Amino acid sequence: MDDVELATVEDLEVAKAEADLVTSTNKFLRDEWRPNRKQEAFLRLPFTIKEGLLGGGAGSGKSDCLLLYGIVHKFHHNPKFKQVFMRRTHADMKKEIIQRSRELYRRLGATFNASDMIWTFPRIDQFGSGAKNDGAIIILGHCENESDVHMYDSAEISLFTPDELTNNTEFIYLYITQERNRAPKGSGLPSITRAAAMPGGVGHTFVKKRFVDPFPAGGKIIVGKGGNKRIYIHATLRDNKDHIDPTYEQSLAGRPEAERKAKQDGDWSAYLGLVFDEFRVHKYPDEPANALHVVDPFGIPHWWPKFVCGDWGHRAMTYVCFIAVSPDLRVYVYRELHWTGIKISEWAPILRSFIEEEQPRIVKFCQSTNQDHGNEHTIREQIEAAIGRTIEVSKNSAGSRVSGKMLLHEYLRWKELPKLSTKNMPVYSEERARWILRNKGLDEYKAYLKLFEPPKIEDNIPRLQIFCCDATTHEGHPHCCPALINSIQACSYDKPRNNKPAEDVAEFEGDDPYDTLRYAIETADSYFVESTDELQRLKRESDAMMRLAMTHDQTAFYRQMRSIEADNKLSVVSKFHGRR
């Protein structure tokens, strides 16, 4: 993403020669389609701008604009013109694009090869002659898997128009844009990419970083590495009211605030994840105060247990997050580190310095570190040697990814569980309680009493909190985790298999922080199950030390510490007898 990091922003000056939309003289456009204000701004972009994105809200007329881009500029009159209009899957193309293209292109004398999904236009000298078309072509393509990009290896694509770009990966987009988006020599055609997108999908993060983050309001030229220019034109259904059913806008207006801002306003920061739609970076007025997962950094108490979890990669990202657990059974992700294309010997000393300072209970990495990559030592052994301590590895059993995802849903949950009806609750019996204590032990006795406790108030939800400041005012803050936040937002479901809906998250470029978070949540959850007494003891010890610092009463301090130690031993004995 060096291109993004180096980008600067310039004002847009529309070159009149390249901005002539010829709508006043093109009868087809006058009769069939007139661009709205935002579509026209997009169509008027100078061809010196290599990449353009029309995006934001639902119903803004993005697909029509891409289908007609070459027609508006009369590229279809040039027999060397080739456009690739792309959706992620062939099924996506069949839903609406094929039919819409028929409505538009047949009026211009184009013929459609359904097996190859190619529209071929007549040359000017053969229009209406009845001869077989052999002029410009528009390909309705797809690229479901990253390996599918090689279907276009022999193509010279003058105009590349990926629709719903956020459904594609960064690799697919960059490969075609940088390798295949070029006009035939001497054709007089530009080599440009014009894309359309809405928030969401596996490509959400890269599209937002590449086009939106440098200037969220859009309309400014972003100059990246090597002088490559790109621009974002923000559009919503309000810009396309003449072509949208008014009841659709009414439907969006009635949605929850977060969903409304994403779909109606095209707010990329308000995006609701396709998988983790409960995830909140911002609090919305129509939701409770606790509906928030991103919090400002604060000083983690030194006695809170800490863990370090990582996902190793070389060409892919190596990602490490630091978590702390609180006595109220919450998980705080308070630091992240990540590297791409960096050797273990280079990043491990940085990780080691944090580990030696904070002394986490567990350091855990992904199962792939156990693999033999042809070296004398496995990746796990290399990491252990470099950081100076033993590491654990994550689970890799069947279904572990899905179970980890479900556990993360529980930690993200901010709505209270519905209260169970007391209609069919058992009636408390003192005689039964005493019998259980005599014959089953203390643990079973407590479990029986717990059946009759009033419903517990869930005052610790959501149980996952992520440190992150406002990047505009806290840039470079050591306790910010933007990569993790972006990864959660980019999660979408894998494709269905055997006619069953997918339950797992689809793999995507940039999913390493999400995978690491799964390991971290599983680690913390196991700790909560096994170490509830320890957390309470640690809190009591911390309270005793704070009281000592305020009162300087050594006698009271030692008395309290002996009481804590005695209670802890009693707890261990009770558990032992319960198991017997």
Strand segments (E) across 50-162: 51-56, 82-87, 111-113, 118-120, 137-142, 159-162
Residue 230 backbone dihedrals phi, psi, to 5 degrees: -150, 165
Instruction: Please tell me the CATH code under which domain 306-412+461-529 is placed.
Output: 3.30.420.280
- The CATH H-level superfamily of 2-235 is P-loop containing nucleotide triphosphate hydrolases (3.40.50.300)
Supply the pLDDT for residue 490: 80
Peptide bond into 496 cis (omega under 30): no
> Using an 8 Å Cβ cutoff, are 365 and 512 in contact?
no
The pLDDT of residue 475: 47
Is the pLDDT score of 520 beyond 60? Answer: yes
> Which amino acid would we find at residue 533?
D
What is d(CA 529, CA 328) in angstroms, rounded to the nearest whole number?
Answer: 13
Q: Is 470 left (phi over 0), alpha (psi -120 to 50) or beta?
A: beta
pLDDT at 558: 77
Q: In one letter, which amino acid is 326?
A: S
The per-residue b/e assignment along 52-88, b for 16 or more CB within 10 angstroms, e otherwise, is bbbbbbbbbbbbbbbbbbbbbbebbbbbbbbbbbbbb
Q: What are phi and psi of 8, to 5 degrees?
A: -120, 170
Res 554 pLDDT > 50: yes
Share of the chain above pLDDT 90, in %: 39
577: pLDDT strictly greater than 60: no
Q: What is the mean pLDDT of the chain?
A: 83
Among 357-371, 435-449, 527-541, 547-561, name the most confident range. Answer: 357-371
Among 484, 515, 494, CA closest to 395: 515
The residues pairing with 505 across neighbouring beta strands, listed in sequence order, are 493
pLDDT at 576: 35
339 has a pLDDT exceeding 70? yes
Q: Collapsing DSSP states into helix, strand and coil, what is residue 271?
A: coil
